[in-house]
């Protein structure tokens, strides 16, 4: 079985501050990990993914995430938050032959002036 835990359902940062959204996974086989962003009344947009190879993954809009097997983590970061980053962020995992994504409960990011 595979699962994802996102710590913090709401995160608030000031514009220009570091963004850190936490994700821990559980999987009995090597996982593939994803971060998606959802703006109000829209579908999910892929920010970045880790499958194999380099553990530091860069995505769109200046986001990046690092796969740390020893910590079973895949935290999402961005050096400097913009107002436009305010949205809900979902971490997801797939592993083995699951052929489906298992999502975390989401983290709503608020960016303040």
Partner 1 sequence: GAGVSQSPSNKVTEKGKDVELRCDPISGHTALYWYRQSLGQGLEFLIYFQGNSAPDKSGLPSDRFSAERTGGSVSTLTIQRTQQEDSAVYLCASSYGLLESGETQYFGPGTRLLVL
69: helix, coil or strand? helix
Is 96 a binder of partner 1 (CB under 8 A)? yes
x/- track of binding to partner 1 for residues 1-30 (CB under 8 A): ------------------------------
CA angle, residues 39, 106, 111, in degrees to nearest 5: 55
Is 86 a binder of partner 1 (CB under 8 A)? no
**Residue 84 falls in which region: left (phi positive, over 0), alpha (psi -120 to 50) or beta:** alpha
Is 32 a binder of partner 1 (CB under 8 A)? yes
28 vs 97 by CB, closer to partner 1: 97
Residues that bind partner 1 (CB under 8 A): 32, 34, 36, 41-46, 49, 51-52, 90, 92, 94, 96-106
């Amino acid at each position: 079985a595979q699962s994802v835990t996102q710590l913090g359902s709401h995160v608030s940062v000031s514009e220009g501050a570091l963004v850190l959204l936490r994700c821990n996974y559980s999987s009995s086989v090597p996982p593939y990990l994803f971060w998606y962003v959802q703006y109000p009344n829209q579908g999910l947009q892929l920010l970045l993914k880790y499958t194999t190879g380099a553990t530091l993954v860069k995505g769109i809009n200046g986001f990046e995430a690092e796969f740390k097997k020893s910590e079973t983590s895949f935290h999402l970061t961005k050096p400097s938050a913009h107002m436009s980053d305010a949205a809900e962020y979902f971490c997801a995992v797939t592993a083995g032959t699951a052929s489906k994504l298992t999502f975390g409960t989401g983290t709503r990011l608020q960016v303040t002036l």
